[in-house]
Amino acid sequence: MKGIILAGGSGSRLAPMTSAISKQLLPIYDKPLIYYPISTLMLAGIREQLIITTPRDLDSFKALLGDGSNLGMNFTYATQNSPLGLAEAFIIGRNFVGNSNVALALGDNVFHGSGLGTQLTSLTNLSGAHIFAYKVSDPENYGVVEFDVSGKVISVEEKPSFPKSNFAIPGLYFYDNSVLDIAEAVRPSARGELEITSINYEYLSRDELFVQVLTRGTAWLDTGNPENLLAASSYVKIIEDRQGYKIACLEEIALRQEWTTTAKLRKFVDQSPENSYYEYVRKILNE
């Protein structure tokens, strides 16, 4: 399975912070926001990841992440000239995906929870579509999934004025290869966007959409506005300080996955600044 991270958009709700920089390069406590969706896909066992961003921000992402070889990964890049909707990620990334299944992670979503990696690795060989649901107090701001009394999915809607449930669809989606053709057939919505909900609805109509409710022990944080950006940073700091490990440390995950070696990472870290993040990586390397 391959992974796509959609890190484009104008970030208008975070202006003026995003007037000169991508919102996915803003910090969530001690690391850039983009580290979090990258780490989520890494925990699912996905080593090949396509970063889709804006032409303005492309070089900044390349400078930050490189080609991923020090992590035993492969980062490639593409641009989205204007935010035409999440479904466009599969059109832009068609050649990258090839004949593989694919996971899409939104660049401004943070996931964290015990056992999350184990939960995600089971989805890499799926047939159909697998998405998630998370109970929220403001479902009108998200895609919404509705269940019947037996727990079967009966509808999906995009930002409805009158939501049929309180279950939002977070920004993490797993699809089989047929998503590429489905995305090509999607037509713009009334908002003028190629909606990911249209893809999910097509899978639902085929009876191939599986929705898993994220447990209460799993945190999902959407960082699209200043309040949520601050809340996500506070959450990460509290967990890291209390439990003594770092969330979304790419070097640690790559080492635990045995994608890279201690020697290769030590050579990279020896050239890195002296700060708390790299002190943590050095500690991991010396275990």
pLDDT in tens, 138-164: 999 999 999 998 888 999 999 999 999
Cβ 44 vs Cβ 121: under 8 Å: yes
φ and ψ of 200, to 5 deg: -65, -35
CA distances from 43 to 1, 147, 215 (A): 13, 28, 17
Residue 123's pLDDT is: 86
Cα separation, 142 vs 222, in Å, equals 10
Q: At what angle do helices 276-285 and 262-269 cross, to 10 degrees?
A: 150
CA-nearest of 103, 98, 94, 78 to 185 is 94
CA distance 86 to 195: 6
User: In angstroms, rounded to a whole number, what is the distance separating the alpha carbons of residues 157 and 140?
Assistant: 10
- pLDDT exceeds 90 at position 224: no
What structural domains and CATH numbers belong to the chain?
2-123+171-211+219-248 (3.90.550.10)
Distance, CA of 93 to chain centre: 15
pLDDT digits (tens, 9 = 90+) for 227-282: 999 999 999 999 999 999 999 999 999 999 999 999 999 988 888 888 999 999 99
Q: How is the chain split among helix, strand and coil, in percent rounded to 5? A: 35, 25, 40
Taking 80 as the threshold, does the pLDDT of residue 117 lie above it? no
Q: Which of 10-19, 94-103, 159-168 has the highest mean pLDDT?
A: 94-103
Q: Residue 167: which pLDDT band, with cuts at 50, 70 and 90?
A: very high
